[in-house]
């Protein structure tokens, strides 16, 4: 199994998908030519526009973006995919559409059989057991919170340490502490922007220039540096 799970698509002041594009290229390699793109997380813009936006960046690294929304049979598209790319946006809508198209199990089996999977933001959320650690507003209701379960820990993309001056509400860390209180056996990786997890079979590596923050019930949060040991996440 090979996964590239990216926190965010765009760093401040940068172009869309610019910072991770060469990581994606290295991950996919030279043998893959066409990628199956899943744009279901798009809400305020069309799937056509989303696919075109990703294709613009993928032109620079040599891959065709073939969007699943153009297929009458989405399952068949997954079964024939050389690589699966799941874009960011709203995790709740993405989950609902994956479930409505009956794609959860077919994607899971396809990826477990060796097909590379790249996701960013919502696309990283749905690689987890559930979507319970997404930051997104539940604008629509999926059948359940259960998703691809390709990894046995949760990711919180766009993880922020900040507690803005004058803000009296919850911080991101406080929300994750609530999750681990209710889900005591599950690790959560606070994946800061500009970073990603490379999962290759039993190896999990943090890529980027910032640490990841790891949460577990009754354990003080731990900072993991890029290249640090994340083997304990396998459970």
pLDDT in tens, 103-147: 999 999 999 999 999 999 999 999 999 999 999 999 999 999 999
Long-range (24+ apart) CB contacts under 8 A made by 111-116 are 111/1, 111/3, 111/84, 111/148, 111/150, 112/1, 112/150, 114/1, 114/2, 115/81, 115/82, 115/83, 115/84, 116/2, 116/3, 116/4, 116/27, 116/28, 116/32, 116/83, 116/84
- Whole-angstrom distance, CA of residue 232 vs CA of residue 16: 33
Q: Which residue has the higher pLDDT, 164 or 227?
A: 227
Any idea how long the chain is? Answer: 235
CATH class of 2-234: alpha beta
Strands 203-208 and 212-216: unpaired
Q: Give this prediction's pTM.
A: 0.96
Catalytic residue flag (residue 136): yes
Q: How confident is the model at residue 7 (pLDDT cuts 50, 70, 90)?
A: very high
Average pLDDT over residues 59-88: 98
Q: Is the pLDDT of residue 228 over 90?
A: no
- Candidate list 7, 66, 124, 136, residue with the active-site label: 136
Catalytic residue flag (residue 217): no
Average pLDDT over residues 179-187: 98
Structural domain spans, the chain: 2-234
CA 48 to chain centre: 21
- Candidate list 158, 167, 202, 220, residue with the active-site label: 158
**H-type alpha helices, the chain:** 21-28, 47-58, 74-79, 91-100, 104-112, 122-125, 172-182
Q: What is the mean pLDDT of the chain?
A: 96
pLDDT in tens, 158-172: 999 876 666 666 889
- pLDDT computed for residue 10 by the predictor: 96
- Candidate list 7, 67, 121, 124, residue with the active-site label: 121
């Amino acid at each position: 199994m090979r996964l590239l799970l990216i926190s965010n698509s765009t760093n401040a002041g940068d172009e869309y998908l610019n910072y991770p594009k060469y990581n994606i290229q290295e991950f996919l390699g030279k043998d893959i030519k066409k990628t199956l793109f899943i744009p279901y997380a798009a809400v305020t813009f069309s799937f056509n526009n989303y696919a075109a936006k990703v294709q613009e960046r993928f032109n620079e690294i040599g891959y065709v973006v073939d969007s699943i929304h153009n297929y009458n049979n989405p399952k068949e598209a997954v079964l024939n995919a050389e690589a699966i790319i799941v874009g960011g946006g709203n995790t709740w809508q993405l989950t609902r559409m994956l479930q409505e198209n009956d794609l959860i199990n077919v994607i899971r089996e396809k990826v477990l059989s060796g097909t590379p999977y790249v996701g960013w933001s919502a696309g990283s959320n749905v690689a987890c057991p559930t979507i319970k650690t997404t930051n997104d507003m539940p604008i629509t209701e999926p059948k359940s919170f259960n998703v691809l379960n390709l990894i046995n820990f949760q990711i919180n993309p766009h993880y922020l340490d900040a507690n803005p001056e004058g803000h009296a509400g919850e911080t991101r860390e406080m929300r994750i502490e609530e999750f681990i209180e209710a889900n005591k056996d599950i690790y959560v990786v606070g994946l800061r922007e500009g970073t990603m997890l490379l999962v290759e079979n039993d190896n999990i590596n943090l890529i980027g220039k910032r640490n990841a923050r790891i949460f577990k019930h009754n354990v003080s949060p731990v900072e993991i540096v890029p290249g640090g040991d994340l083997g304990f996440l396998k459970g």
